[in-house]
């Protein structure tokens, strides 16, 4: 699966409220919905939709932004601007909990959000962010992972028909907080997953890109650039905002930055529809 293009001009924008920089006050923002084109989509999918860092509130009903995003994508599908959600895979790259009056240190349970996406999309796969919780115990996480249309990834790879999905939740940081790994452990997890030849690698924290002055982790970029490309590996990440939605690393790996945007990738030519469950 190779990205041909992603437009930086939105087909739609979703109004929401979020905590202002520094945590003082509330600001109004607009979440862009972008269209992208890929050369091929497996499993008879019509599209794969990607998003992360939906850290906002619906101004009308004070619900989390994720629920409004689902409603707006349903409307776009109904009028034919994007493919049917039932024939679309959904990739979530972390951080879907928010409080409108503060951002720093906020953590909340996002299991209901994943379930809401799974009810509308063919399947949902992804990772947790550093603002996310999946319950208070390992037992709750295990129950969450048993849903057949959801696959939560944290150092794991999962096959979905012709598509191999891998992911690492959280960020590099001190392990006394949830969803943190040491830098050494994070890089080792990337290395172990790459050995299993994923088609898509989902990270919450992603690489930097000095050529474009785009923030991220240098160590992650350097590890990704060591990979010898034998297939079209696509890396999807969130956690920090980039002014552009995608870049190409020196070795040809394509990276999508999903932070604060929704990207709908559709096949160059699609005429059939179908859906594989994540196995």
Q: What is the pLDDT of residues 153-189, one digit of tens each?
A: 999 999 988 899 999 999 999 888 888 999 999 999 9
**Predicted confidence (pLDDT) per residue in 232-241, tens digit:** 899 999 999 9
- CA 156, CA 167: separation in Å to the nearest integer? 6
Maximum pairwise Cα distance, the chain: 49
Q: What is the pTM of this model?
A: 0.93
What element of type H or E holds 54? none
Q: Which of 133, 115, 132 is nearest to 124 (CA)?
A: 115
Q: Give the domains, in start order, of the chain with CATH numbers.
A: 3-267 (3.60.21.10)
* Distance (Å, whole) CA 190 – CA 201: 9
pLDDT in tens, 90-130: 999 999 998 877 766 688 999 999 999 999 999 999 999 99
Q: How far apart are CA 236 and CA 204, in angstroms?
A: 8
> What are the tens digits of pLDDT across the range 122-161?
999 999 999 999 888 888 888 888 787 898 999 999 998 8
| Mean pLDDT computed over every residue of the chain | 91
Q: Where are the beta strands (DSSP E) in 10-161?
A: 12-19, 26-38, 47-52, 88-92, 108-109, 123-126, 132-133, 150-152, 156-160
The whole-number average pLDDT for the span 180-209 is 96
Q: What is the pLDDT of residues 29-61, one digit of tens each?
A: 999 999 999 998 988 899 999 999 999 999 999
């Amino acid at each position: 699966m190779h990205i041909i293009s992603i437009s930086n001009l939105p087909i739609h924008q979703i109004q929401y409220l979020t905590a202002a920089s520094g945590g003082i006050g509330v600001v109004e923002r607009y979440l862009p919905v972008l269209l992208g084109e890929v050369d091929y989509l497996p499993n008879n999918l019509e599209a794969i939709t990607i998003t992360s860092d939906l850290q906002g509130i619906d101004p009308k009903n004070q619900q989390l932004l994720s629920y409004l995003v689902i409603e707006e994508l349903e409307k776009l599908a109904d009028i034919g601007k994007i493919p049917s959600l039932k024939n679309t895979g959904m990739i979530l790259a972390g951080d879907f909990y928010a409080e409108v009056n503060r951002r720093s240190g906020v953590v909340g349970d996002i299991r209901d959000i994943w379930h809401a996406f799974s009810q509308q999309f063919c399947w949902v796969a992804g990772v947790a962010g550093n603002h996310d919780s999946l319950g208070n115990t390992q037992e709750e996480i295990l129950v969450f992972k048993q849903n057949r249309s959801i696959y939560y990834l944290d150092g794991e790879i999962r096959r979905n028909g012709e598509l191999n999905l891998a992911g690492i939740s959280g960020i590099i940081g001190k392990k006394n907080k949830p969803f943190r790994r040491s830098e050494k452990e994070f890089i080792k997890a990337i290395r172990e997953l790459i050995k299993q030849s994923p088609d898509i690698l989902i990270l919450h924290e992603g690489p930097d890109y000095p050529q474009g002055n785009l923030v991220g982790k240098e160590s992650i970029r350097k590890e990704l650039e060591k990979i010898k490309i034998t297939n079209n590996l696509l890396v999807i990440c969130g956690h920090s905002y980039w002014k552009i939605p995608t870049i190409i690393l020196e070795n040809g790996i394509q990276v999508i930055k999903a932070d604060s945007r929704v990207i709908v990738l559709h096949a160059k030519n699609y005429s059939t529809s179908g859906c594989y469950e994540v196995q």
